Amino acid sequence: MKRSQIVDWATAIYEDLDFSTVHAWLDEAPGRKAAAYLPVYAPREIIHACGMLPVGIHGTGGIEIIRGDAFYQSYICHLPRSVVELAQSGRLDMLSAVLFPSTCDVIRNLSGMWQVMYPDMYVRYLDLPQVADPKLGAEFWKRELNVVRRDLGEVSGIEATEDRLRASVALYNEVRSVIRELYTARRETPWRVPSEELYLLLRAGEVVAPEFFMEQARAYLGVIEQCDDRIKDRTRVLIAGAFCEQPPLGLIKTIERAGCYIVDDDFLAGNRFMIGDVPDAEDPAAAMAETFVTGAIKTSVLYEPDPAGKRNLMKTRAAAAGADGVIFAAPSFCDPALLDRPMLREGAEAAGIPCIAFKYAENSGQFQQFREQAGTFADSIKLWGDA
């Protein structure tokens, strides 16, 4: 498979606001059902084990918002507007269930709106475990997982037996492993893996069957190995804060074209929320819960029990990625990203890591200011930094 074929496939899915791939999957066999989730983290394994297609709803900057704006005041972020727009225009009618994780109060309240607006759809608010005690947290989360497992089984008519769930856990371990490989490839050879392409691939992975995504991702890993593009004189940056409302593709392109290589980011962070594999265990829900409470990524949507955790996070991540600087790119009005930013930035700057910050919306259409900021940032690091 050629690189352009893979990228074109992913681009077509990214641009398709009618979720044709989801419809196609549903049409492949009678009785199939799809369950969606909002950012950031939802247990896709559970959805999959219930025989349903997990569908990531990440909003879109690609449609005109008419109905969505009627539901939100001007000071609320853009993501729920486009999600409501998609729903109100009938584009999400194929869903049988939607999971709303405890990312922030906007997504939390959207779960209640959904309950009122779509009473026939299964809706569940996922209260992620926040406690410092792993035993207590795992016990709580296991119970939550089993509730979703039971309920989705009833929706789909397919019970997520231990065997089915173990198989799904193994499959998503593979998915995360492939994603880790993609991130490693970009970190080590960013000139071969433009972030725009990586992002498109991962975004496509949110709405296709995991097996199919892995096929495409492995093909992509194969072609980039053959790639003989040369390294360019660019600054390696970490993009922090874009974990929920996604940046427009143009912003990702702009940052790289302004003289940066993105070597780590938070885009679609839910697909790699657990750092390692979930072990194969007799009780797969318990294994998922334990892995979550002991091995989730450090993120704004989870409580940080370590008092030094926020201060050290950017230093740790920048070192792991070999980043020369941090770009704090947060969606406007995003509580998790913007409330965390002063702590993260202070820690980064105390460690001598250059930083800049800006805000975007998923429908931002003008990128000149971002180009200037990112370009100046990259140049300043090259001229005056240690890079």
Partner 1 sequence: MSDQNRAAQKDNSMVIQKEMIAAHYERLERAPETKEPVVYTFVPGNLTELIRSFGCLPVLPEINALQSGMRGKSRDYIAEAEKHGHSEDVCTYVKCDIGMVLAGNIGPTGTKLPKPDLLLLSYTGCYTFMKWFELLREQYDCPCVFLHVPYQGDGVIEPEHREYMIKQLRDEVIPALEKVSGRKYDEEALRERLQLSAEAEDDLVWVLQSAKNKPSPIDAYFGAVYYVGPIFSSFRGTEEGVAYYKALRREVQERLDAGLGPVAPGGPVTDEKYRLVVEGPPNWTHFREFWQMFADEGAVVVASTYSKVGGTYDFGFRHDPDDPLGTLGDYCGGCYTNINLPGRIDMLCNYLKEYEADGFLINSVKSCNSFSAGQLMILREVEKRTGLPGGFIESDLVDPRYFSAANIKNRLESYIQMVDARRQRGAVA
Report the residue number, 113 or 209, with the smaller CB distance to partner 1. Answer: 113
Report the residue number, 9 or 72, with the smaller CB distance to partner 1. Answer: 72
Token pair belonging to 369: 């200011």
Q: How far is the CB of 57 from partner 1 (least distance, A)?
A: 16
Report the residue number, 71 or 191, with the smaller CB distance to partner 1. Answer: 71
Report the residue number, 59 or 80, with the smaller CB distance to partner 1. Answer: 80
Residues in the chain: 387
245 phi/psi in degrees, rounded to 5: -65, 125
Q: Give Cα 219 to chain centroid, integer Å.
A: 21
Strand order in the sheet with 260-264: 260-264, 235-240, 325-331, 355-360
Buried b (16+ CB within 10 A) or exposed e, 69-106: eebbeeeebbbbbbbbbbbeeebbebbbbbbbbbbbeb
| Residue of 12, 31, 8, 30 lying closest to 21 (CA atoms) | 12
Q: How far is the CB of 43 from partner 1 (least distance, A)?
A: 15
Report the residue number, 236 or 310, with the smaller CB distance to partner 1. Answer: 310
Q: How far is the CB of 144 from partner 1 (least distance, A)?
A: 9
Is 311:160 a contact under the CB 8 Å cutoff? no
DSSP 296: B
Q: How far is the CB of 218 from partner 1 (least distance, A)?
A: 38
Report the residue number, 222 or 342, with the smaller CB distance to partner 1. Answer: 342
Q: How far is the CB of 81 from partner 1 (least distance, A)?
A: 11
Please report, for residues 308, 310, 325, 338, 360, the alpha-carbon distance to residue 341 in angstroms, rounded to integers and kept in the order given. Answer: 15, 9, 15, 5, 14
Q: How far is the CB of 303 from partner 1 (least distance, A)?
A: 5
Q: How far is the CB of 318 from partner 1 (least distance, A)?
A: 18
Token pair belonging to 32: 């199939």
Report the residue number, 102 or 254, with the smaller CB distance to partner 1. Answer: 102
Q: How far is the CB of 153 from partner 1 (least distance, A)?
A: 17
Report the residue number, 257 or 359, with the smaller CB distance to partner 1. Answer: 359
Report the residue number, 25 or 243, with the smaller CB distance to partner 1. Answer: 243
Q: How far is the CB of 188 from partner 1 (least distance, A)?
A: 33
- The alpha carbon torsion through 32, 169, 208, 52 (nearest 10 deg) reads 20
Q: Which residues bind partner 1 (CB under 8 A)?
A: 70-73, 75-76, 80, 100, 102, 104-106, 108-113, 115-117, 124-125, 127, 129-133, 136, 139-140, 143, 300, 303-305, 307, 310-311, 330, 332-336, 338-343, 345-346, 359
- Enumerate residues 6+ apart whose C-beta is below 8 A from 208: 13, 21, 25
Torsion sign across C-alpha atoms 53, 71, 335, 59: positive
What are the residues facing 342 on neighbouring strands?
Answer: none
- Give the Cα-Cα-Cα angle 322, 326, 332 (nearest 5 degrees): 145
What are the residues facing 174 on neighbouring strands?
Answer: none
Q: How far is the CB of 277 from partner 1 (least distance, A)?
A: 26
Report the residue number, 146 or 189, with the smaller CB distance to partner 1. Answer: 146
- Give the Cα-Cα-Cα angle 267, 363, 87 (nearest 5 degrees): 85
